Amino acid sequence: MAAPRNPPPVFESEYTLPDTETPLPNFRTPTENYLALGLYAAALVSAVLAVHYYRSRRAVFLLAVGSVVVFGFVLQGCPCPVGSLQNTIPVFFESIGTGVEWIWNTLRGIPTEQDSQTVPPGATLSGTTISGTTGLISVTAVLLFSLPLLVALFYGRVFCGAVCPLGAVQELVAIKPLRLPAWIDDGLGTLRFVFLGLGVLFAQVGLWFLICRFDPFVGLFRMSGFFSILVFGFAILLLGLIVARPFCRFLCPYGALLGLCGSLAAKKVSVTPGECSKCRLCEEICPVNAIRPPTTDPTPEERFIGPLRLLILFLAAPLIVVALTGIAARLLPGPLASMHPDVRLAERVLAEDSRLVDTTGYFAETKAFQITGQTNESLYRRAESVYGRMRHAAVFFGAWCGIVFAVKLISLGMRRRRTDYRVDPGRCVACGRCFWYCPNQKEKRVLLDVR
């Protein structure tokens, strides 16, 4: 499909141009991927032991240092569970969609090309890859994506605390962070769910891997990258000196999923191994506002206003979803479609057909397209198909954002009873700082006080 932009030079001597060689992509071998998976699994086991068995801030901190060295600078940030999200979720949705379609057609008695199969058509396993119509995905990417989530369902967000290289490097620079007001923390915390929706949308419709492209620290780990991304990464680190883990708390899409799984954890992180003495040290030292204080009995006015406020929020939730869905469906399809290469090429070919530019082949891309022998009509049909996909994707993204904001408002309107200081498992990143300061903790404080 590719063609040279300019004709080759004509030499007066007998010199001939060598054949063009395309370098192979810099993919890791399956053995290297499985080795990385094994290292992540070993680090997760170590994090579980450090947080739930030894309850040691020192061990968590040292494990974070090791994760930055191994997963960051040695493996250069790839593969990692955060980026594998973009590989896995599109294939997951494809499997669900094609499976539902197969079941529906089977119940209606509609013959399909898949009638000879005994399983619904979706993602299929072959060797070390899983294939679907959206492309190939390695088994290690699926395992890397799912393993920290499974661990979070049992032991909380121990992956965030000391295993994830993106979180670990922020943990190392959070020397004496400030505590943000709850309303700022809650408001900015919803952005990671929005970024999650954008990352899935871009991967599903065939645009960039948005999460990897805006990874703030992979350029630091590889000592190279776009200047703007390097500046973004250093800005996050500088901000992390005073605001603990800003990327984890406000932007990380994988952290959003881990927070949901951590809320359902079978064994949640606890501040104290024994009875809480209500000294408030943990509340003051927690940098991510994950320590919830005991609640007081509501006043008669609060008993009346609380249920009424919650009822209003429940009634407003569908309106929020519908409003954001409509806004996204109206504003997003055009800008999203213009990012797709087929649409950009179709716009330039149309500009030449409409005589908006002087000569045919004015753009280098259109000149290469003409050499392929394809018709303009086939290109326009592809561009129209892309625009249709973007329109559907924008609707789903708007609905997702509406659900996120509606659920957040409802959760803020709910009142929960607590008799002592409790850890919010959705926010807690298992950094172990509260272990160090709890007076009931039996850890021997031999090393320097690591805040």
Each of the 451 residues of the chain gets a pLDDT tens digit; together they read 556 666 677 777 777 777 776 654 455 677 778 888 899 999 999 999 999 988 888 999 999 999 999 999 998 888 888 888 887 776 666 666 565 565 666 666 665 544 444 443 444 444 444 444 444 567 778 888 899 999 999 999 999 989 999 999 999 998 888 888 888 988 899 999 999 999 888 888 878 788 888 889 988 898 888 888 999 999 999 999 999 999 999 999 999 999 999 999 999 888 887 777 788 888 888 889 888 888 888 888 878 888 898 899 999 999 999 999 999 999 988 888 888 888 888 888 787 777 666 555 566 777 777 777 788 888 888 888 888 888 888 999 999 999 999 999 998 888 788 877 888 888 999 988 888 888 877 544 443 344 4
Q: Is the pTM of this model over 0.85?
A: no
Residue closest to 160 by CA, chosen among 431, 432, 424: 431
Judged by DSSP in three states, 113 sits in coil
Query: How is residue 15 written in tokens?
Result: 């010199």
Residue closest to 83 by CA, chosen among 246, 209, 168: 209
The per-residue pLDDT for 249 is 92
Give the β-pairing of 291-292 and 422-423: antiparallel
d(CA 208, CA 212) in angstroms, rounded, equals 9
Burial code (b: 16+ CB inside 10 Å, e: under 16) for 273-307 equals eeebeeeebbbebbbbbbbbeeeeeeeeeeeeeee
The per-residue pLDDT for 403 is 95
In the block, which residue shows the tokens 């197969």?
102
Q: Give residue 451's Cα distance to chain centre.
A: 28
The per-residue pLDDT for 176 is 84
d(CA 424, CA 426) in angstroms, rounded, equals 6
- H or E, element range at 126: strand 124-126
What ranges do the domains of the chain cover?
A: 31-92+124-295+423-444, 305-415
- H or E, element range at 124: strand 124-126
The per-residue pLDDT for 108 is 65
Judged by DSSP in three states, 1 sits in coil
d(CA 282, CA 187) in angstroms, rounded, equals 23
The per-residue pLDDT for 204 is 80
d(CA 179, CA 244) in angstroms, rounded, equals 8
Query: How is residue 393 written in tokens?
Result: 């994707």
209: phi then psi, degrees, rounded to nearest 5: -85, 90
